[in-house]
Amino acid sequence: MPAHLVLIDALNLIRRIYAVQERPFVQGKASKNKIKIENLLTEKDQKQILFNTKNACIKALENILALQQPSHALAVFDSEQPCWRYKLYPDYKKGRKKMPVFLASELSNIQDAFMQYGVDSLVPAEDEADDIIATLTTKMALHGQHVTIVSTDKGFLSLLNANVYIYDYFNRRYLDKYYVKNKFDVEPTQLIDLWTLTGDNTNKIPGVASIGKVTAANLLNQHGSLKAALSAIKSKSEEIKPKIKEKLNQSEAQITLSKKLLTFKQNIPLGFNLKDIRLKN
């Protein structure tokens, strides 16, 4: 029987849960005061929100384990240091709301609570959780093992295959290839090329100017991949409209950069074995 590894995108889960717990304490205050939300909270508020968040995270973990029935599980966090993407492109994730300091100080307690359920936490020295999850997922899938990634991050959709599942805990649904086709009109394997063309606003990664989702999807469905489309341009194919050819030709450097930023690393040395994250009965 193949192993089933559940990989929890930990900060994706915790920060969304925190936002729900924080909302009742700041509702109405933020709109009346042009002050940072955390400055509207009293120390008593902060303690109560953290208490509620920790309990809600534990409940979420219980629900995930009960539903998935995994043989192995791991909660993966981002490094506290900026990852390689920031060095390559300083505007990566520019403008994204920072984690409140008091929530950051609570993470170790949440990790300890997860460990009570046998779920260890991985906090890499310098890598993003995305790349660690992609590395683990690829290794498992290549050996015919099953992986379920618990996250709402659309980037993981590019990893979907017969052995890899994406579960949206907050909407209680699996995001599969039919979801991808319906939402993006491409196959999961074409998503990186799609976002290279359109850009990824969530992470502030730019695309090719004036190329939207429809044009990008049509281009990929016609040629199969961005590489094939660019080859068609160089071979002076008449299949691509002149205006699109011009935009692509003018954006070669941007295309190279964006695709690199969007592509997960899948060969990070992990320093542990599968047996180390096996759940006890």
Q: Where are the domains of the chain?
A: 4-180+264-277, 182-262
Count CB-CB contacts under 10 A for residue 123. Answer: 17
**Domain 182-262: assigned CATH number:** 1.10.150.20
- How far apart, in Å, are the Cα atoms of 259 and each of 88, 93, 116, 195, 200? 12, 15, 40, 8, 10
Average pLDDT over residues 97-111: 94
Whether the domain at 4-180+264-277 and the domain at 182-262 fall into the same CATH topology? no
Strand partners, 149: 7, 166
Question: In the Cβ-directed half-sphere of 171, how many Cα atoms lie within 13 Å?
Answer: 9
pTM, 2 dp: 0.94
Average pLDDT over residues 54-66: 98
Tokens read off for 26: 């700041």
DSSP 170: T
**Checking DSSP bridges between strand 173-174 and strand 120-122, what pairing results, if any?**
unpaired
CB pairs under 8 A, 24+ apart, for 254-260? 254/206, 254/207, 254/208, 255/196, 255/197, 255/208, 255/226, 255/230, 257/88, 257/89, 258/195, 258/196, 258/199, 258/200, 258/205, 258/206, 258/207, 259/192, 259/193, 259/196, 259/226, 260/88
Share of the chain above pLDDT 90, in %: 86
Average pLDDT over residues 62-84: 96
What is the C-alpha to C-alpha distance for residues 100 and 38, in angstroms, rounded to an integer? 7
What is the C-alpha to C-alpha distance for residues 160 and 181, in angstroms, rounded to an integer? 12
Fold of 4-180+264-277: Rossmann fold (3.40.50)
Distance, first Cα to last Cα, the chain: 16
Whether 165 shows a pLDDT value over 90: the answer reads yes
Average pLDDT over residues 196-222: 95
Confidence of residue 211 (pLDDT cuts 50, 70, 90): very high
Whether 152 shows a pLDDT value over 70: the answer reads yes
Q: Of 7-16, 48-57, 264-273, which gets the smallest average pLDDT?
A: 264-273
What is the C-alpha to C-alpha distance for residues 267 and 281, in angstroms, rounded to an integer? 30
Query: Please, what sign has the CA dihedral across residues 39, 56, 121, 7?
Result: negative
What is the C-alpha to C-alpha distance for residues 239 and 223, in angstroms, rounded to an integer? 9
